[in-house]
Amino acid sequence: MRLMKTLPLLLLSLVLLTGCVSPFVACTTIGYSSVVNIELLEPRPGLELSLCGGEDCTPGPVEMPTEVGSTRSPIPTGVFELTGDSSNGWSASLSSAQPLLGYQLTDGNGSVVAQGVAEANWVRIDGTEQCGGNRLAEVRLSL
């Protein structure tokens, strides 16, 4: 009788220790980021990049936090950092790893040189499949 009571506890302990049951995986609440490196197939100095995460998004400036009491709403691009230039390429931090990225390239006069949607093949570079992790993608744009 005692074995019948302890057997379920032993089995549960074995399952938990071996990690065979995914509902018992404890994920931390770390805010993961997605970084995309973008370069032009034909580098051309003097171009500015506007970017956004998603198929139906509008490329715009990097999202800045809204000040307390401000009535201004930020443009929801999903891009929180964008560094680099059109000669050497850019690196952008996004809030999520969208499979498609909207982009727009403008020259020094503000004229649109190229725009469209680029496919980002994200690769998880750390973390786990169950809990997620930071992601990285490489995108090459043509003019």
Digit-by-digit pLDDT tens for the chain (143 residues) are 554 454 444 444 444 444 444 556 677 767 778 999 999 999 999 999 999 988 888 888 887 666 677 676 666 788 889 999 999 999 999 988 899 999 999 999 999 999 999 999 999 998 888 888 889 999 999 98
Q: What share of the chain is helix, strand, coil (3-state, %, to 5)?
A: 15, 35, 50
- pTM for this prediction: 0.72
CB 38 within 8 A of CB 93: no
Could you tell me which CATH number the domain at 30-64+75-141 has?
2.60.40
